[in-house]
Amino acid sequence: AQSVTQLGSHVSVSEGALVLLRCNYSSSVPPYLFWYVQYPNQGLQLLLKYTTGATLVKGINGFEAEFKKSETSFHLTKPSAHMSDAAEYFCAVSVSNSGYALNFGKGTSLLVTP
Amino acid sequence: DTEVTQTPKHLVMGMTNKKSLKCEQHMGHRAMYWYKQKAKKPPELMFVYSYEKLSINESVPSRFSPECPNSSLLNLHLHALQPEDSALYLCASSQIPTQAIGYTFGSGTRLTVV
């Protein structure tokens, strides 16, 4: 079954610094991969997704992620952190034998300091 | 319309009450999902509907009863819930059940069981 692992439950960066949130996947078939952001007391917002085609995926709010099959990774990056980026970030993979429901990683809480 | 609409946004219910959560989409999506999210945890899949038929039930207790009356609506009927069922309940839809295309989440219903 497809799954994802997020490395680091908490990441702290300074405002203006590079944001790097790590996600590795496990899948025996080509995966569909997603990054979602969740602000406190809100629902999930899609940042970006990889299905097929270009391996560098650009999303909203300046985020991007690169699908690396050789490393089974889909890390999320942003060149310059903003205070408003502080939130919970979830990596997810669609699971083919569960009606393509999403299987989420445990999440990474991003803290941005002034 | 590119949204999944969930009502109510907040719900407080006693352990003997019967209530229903509603989810609606008008994007023509034929797969719909219920997820449960506890605080500081990732969403967990509860049910999958594919072409209005229940295709996945992740061993959810019978006090949760899903219903899909038509291709645009998904309900979750609640009865005799326990305090530990307090959580954010998220609905999602996807364009077709065989691929994670156009995956869209609603903003959720925050349920408190007292």
Per-residue pLDDT tens digits for A57-88:
999 999 999 999 999 999 999 999 999 999 99
By DSSP bridging, strand B10-13 and strand B109-113 are parallel
pLDDT digits (tens, 9 = 90+) for A23-66: 999 988 888 999 999 998 888 999 999 988 889 999 999 999 99
Which of B59, B105, B111, B112 to probe the A interface (max A CBs under 10 A)? Answer: B105
d(CA B50, CA B96): 8
β strands within chain B, DSSP E: 4-7, 10-13, 18-25, 31-37, 44-50, 53-57, 64-70, 73-79, 87-94, 104-105, 109-113
For residue A94, give the nearest of B42, B90, B100 by CB distance. B100
pLDDT digits (tens, 9 = 90+) for B43-96: 999 999 999 999 888 889 999 999 999 999 999 999 999 999 999 999 999 988
Who has greater pLDDT, A2 or B112? B112
Q: Can you tell me the mean pLDDT for B84-111?
A: 90
Taking alpha carbons only, the member of B14, B37, B28 closest to residue B107 is: B37
Residue type, B88: L
- What is the structure's pLDDT at B75? 98
Cα B51 to the chain's mean position, in Å? Answer: 16
Please enumerate in sequence order all residues whose Cβ is within 8 A of that of B103, keeping only pairs 6 or more positions apart, or say none. Answer: A34, A46, A49, A94, A102, B92, B93, B94
- What is the structure's pLDDT at B108? 96
Q: Can you tell me the mean pLDDT for B84-113?
A: 90
Looking at the complex, report in whole angstroms how far the Cα of residue A61 sits from the nearest Cα belonging to chain B.
18
Chain A residues touching B99 at Cβ < 8 A: 32, 51, 94, 100
Mark yes or no for CB contact B110/A107 under 8 Å: no
pLDDT band, very low/low/confident/very high, at A92 (cuts 50, 70, 90): very high
Mark yes or no for CB contact A106/B41 under 8 Å: yes
Residue B99 has pLDDT above 90, yes or no: no
